[in-house]
Amino acid sequence: MASKESRLADLEKQIAASDFWNDPQAAQKTSKTAAFLRQVVDDWRAFQRRVHEALELARLGDEGLRADLAGEVAAIEGELEKRAFTAMLSGKYDADAAILAIHAGAGGTDSQDWAAMLERMYLRWAEGRGYETEILDLTEGEEAGIKSVTIAVNGPYAYGYLRSEKGVHRLVRLSPFDAAHRRHTSFALVEALPQVAMDDAEVEIEARDLRIDVFRSSGAGGQNVQKNATAVRLTHLPSGIVVTCQNERSQIQNRENAMRVLRARLLEIRQAEREEEVAVLRGEYTKAEWGSQIRSYVLHPYQMVKDHRSEHETGNAQAVLDGSLDAFMEAYLRQAS
């Protein structure tokens, strides 16, 4: 923590300098780093004060405070365990914000409804952790649910946690879209990418490598929700990656958001190259179908959520769908560390 406090002090001196904003891009990056470090330092200082106050109460030796003190000690132990786990998130981008994408897979309308359920689950999880979320792009299903959604999740260690969710998620339930009310299996693919700064040297995008198309944003059923062409489609010609953003009313904002997503996807490819993940380099991405799931959510004939990598499971499926994901994330990340 001393190193973080020292680093924050240095950055704050830079920010206070009269010529700080002469280079807006560098200034913005420095400000973002300082804000992150300030939050980390402030959180630790608040935790230290809480521990100190508990120790002071214990030294009083007042039996009347025993019950309150026991509860406070239990809360401090729980917080300490969480902080110890966060310290394990030491990957290069683990402390960064994240881009989360959900795509409906095999299963038709059921899978599109499942993708919408996952969207709700992750938004609830993010809200519970105090993260800010922003819908960058959304394509609704023909009858129900969504075909895909891209969400920016902003907060410390958002990517460190969400990288545990990469893969295919499988749902088993009685279908509300089947007149015979038969049991259906649905799939959705979840992607988690680190957000990267626009001037990050890790990813370089040349203007000549981009094709930019603009079109009208559309809602369910193809109905235009904008009279002007504000939606943006970016095609990165060397890689063939296509990114669309249409959630904002401003074409400029949609273009900036599309660039954020494109840079994140290109960064993922750079990482794959270093790790020699041949399948990803060839574009052979995991298909959202039977046999490749990382986690199963069973709602019928019994209730259970099971992660097939860590073997962590729970019978309270509704709590998981309401955003209670930390136990699954931590079980996987502990195993993978």
Where in the sequence of the chain do the CATH 1.20.58.410 domains occur?
2-86
CA distances from 162 to 95, 96, 125, 165, 195 (A): 11, 11, 10, 5, 12
* pLDDT at 218 (0 to 100): 64
Radius of gyration of the chain (CA): 23
Residue ranges, CATH 3.30.70.1660, the chain? 98-196+285-336
For the stretch 151-191, pLDDT in tens is 999 988 899 999 999 999 999 999 988 878 888 999 999 99
CATH C-level class of 207-278: alpha beta
**Is CATH 3.30.70.1660 the classification given to domain 98-196+285-336?**
yes
pLDDT tens digits along 221-268: 444 444 567 889 999 999 899 999 987 778 888 988 898 899 898 888
Average pLDDT across the chain, whole number: 85
**Residue 44 confidence (pLDDT):** 85
Q: What is the pLDDT of residues 112-136, one digit of tens each?
A: 999 999 999 999 999 999 999 999 9
pLDDT digit string (tens) for 89-111? 877 888 888 999 999 997 789 99
pLDDT tens per residue, range 20-36: 999 887 888 788 788 87
- pLDDT 10s digits, 265-324: 888 887 777 665 444 444 545 555 556 799 999 999 899 999 999 999 999 999 999 999
Q: Rounded mean pLDDT of 206-220?
A: 81
Tens of pLDDT, residue by residue over 305-319, are 999 999 999 999 999
**What residue ranges of the chain are covered by domains with CATH 3.30.160.20?**
207-278
* CATH number given to 2-86: 1.20.58.410
